[in-house]
């Protein structure tokens, strides 16, 4: 029996565990259990996975991932006496994928509404990649609801993004081609619908030092989450709103909440140098930590380092 290319591409997502199954698979010290839940806020149905008891710590993932990005650290963080809540952002995973509203200020307002719906006045937040941008915007726009913030490897969009060259200079250690690719209307979903695993594999193949840190099943979880045109369009929306994000940043004062910057040594130290130079100008209480021997996806590649830094910072 012959299988066409589209069917072959889709096979990577067949048999992938559901969010509920993935949540129940998380085990750790003290028998903490996690559950897959939904809440409707600001007209959007958001998916999140939560477990543990204590002060809430909200985890916001990045592109092209879902809440599952944090699965290696969630049990230990909960066992330390926290209510750990990993959220699929608008446009991500099992959360709704609206036509608009992907600027980070609007996304932060959705997360703010979610924590209110969950019964909290104030939370700590950690975000990676796009999640870090939303976490910073949350702190800037909802200071009374913000405890402490961890930003992992990515800063809030600023005008330096306009200086990224269309073609990389010879010898450039890092070239974020997807920043431009995701600006293109309609084409990314036509190219990637049903074959998101090609994108998922590329980013992990290039931005992990240890290829085993994100398993075949992990990649299949992310590929399924981005395999539809609607999901690809949602992810692109986070990039297409960078212009508005840059305008919004210009209106923010210094963030008062303590910020932990955790950064990889990707791009021959370019990410680390940028975070060390930029964050102190944007927030008044900043500590930057470089994660050694790990790439951009260090939540999965160096989970113990993340657990230890979070347990020191979120007290």
Q: Is the pTM of this model over 0.75?
A: yes
Rounded-to-integer distance, Cα 110 and Cα 104, Å = 10
Query: Among residues of the chain, what percentage have pLDDT more than 70?
Result: 96
Which sign, positive or negative, has the C-alpha torsion 201, 205, 208, 213?
positive
* Annotated catalytic residue 227: no
* pLDDT for the residue numbered 8: 39
Structure confidence at residue 3 as a pLDDT band (50, 70, 90): very low
Rounded-to-integer distance, Cα 75 and Cα 49, Å = 12
The residue annotated as part of the active site, out of 19, 88, 129, 218, is 129
Count CA within 13 A, CB hemisphere, residue 15: 4
Q: Give the architecture (CATH level 2) of 21-178+243-313.
A: 3-Layer(aba) Sandwich (3.40)
Query: Could you read off the pLDDT of 105-150 as tens digits, one per residue?
Result: 999 999 999 999 999 999 999 999 999 999 999 999 999 999 999 9
* Annotated catalytic residue 296: yes
Query: Could you read off the pLDDT of 38-94 as tens digits, one per residue?
Result: 999 999 999 999 999 999 999 999 999 999 999 999 999 999 999 999 999 999 999
* Annotated catalytic residue 297: no
The residue annotated as part of the active site, out of 48, 102, 226, 239, is 239
* pLDDT for the residue numbered 243: 98
């Amino acid at each position: 029996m012959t299988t066409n290319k589209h069917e072959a591409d889709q096979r990577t997502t067949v048999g992938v565990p559901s969010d509920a199954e993935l949540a129940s698979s998380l085990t750790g010290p003290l028998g903490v259990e996690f559950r897959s839940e939904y809440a409707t806020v600001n007209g959007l149905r958001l998916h999140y996975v939560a477990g543990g008891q204590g002060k809430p710590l909200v985890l916001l993932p990045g592109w092209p991932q879902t809440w599952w990005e944090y699965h290696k650290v969630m049990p230990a963080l909960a066992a330390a006496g926290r209510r750990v809540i990993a959220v699929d952002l608008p446009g991500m995973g099992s959360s709704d994928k609206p036509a608009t509203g992907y600027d980070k200020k609007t996304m932060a307002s959705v997360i703010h509404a979610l924590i209110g719906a969950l019964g909290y006045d104030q939370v700590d937040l950690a975000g990676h990649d796009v999640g870090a941008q939303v976490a910073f915007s949350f702190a800037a726009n909802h200071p009374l609801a913000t405890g402490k913030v961890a930003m992992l490897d990515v800063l809030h969009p600023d005008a330096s993004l306009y200086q990224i060259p269309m073609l990389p200079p010879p010898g450039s250690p890092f070239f974020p081609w997807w920043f431009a690719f995701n600006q293109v209307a309609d084409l990314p979903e036509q190219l990637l619908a049903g074959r998101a695993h090609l994108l998922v594999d590329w980013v992990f193949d290039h931005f992990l030092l240890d290829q085993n840190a994100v398993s075949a099943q992990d990649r299949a979880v992310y590929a399924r989450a981005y395999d539809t045109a609607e999901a690809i369009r949602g992810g692109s929306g986070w990039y297409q709103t960078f212009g508005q994000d840059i305008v919004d940043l210009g209106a923010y004062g210094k963030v008062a909440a303590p910020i932990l910057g955790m950064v990889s040594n990707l791009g021959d130290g370019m990410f680390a140098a940028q975070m060390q130079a930029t964050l102190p100008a944007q927030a008044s209480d900043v500590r930057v930590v470089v994660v050694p021997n790990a790439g951009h996806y260090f939540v999965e590649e160096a989970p113990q380092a993340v657990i230890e830094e979070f347990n020191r910072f979120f007290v």
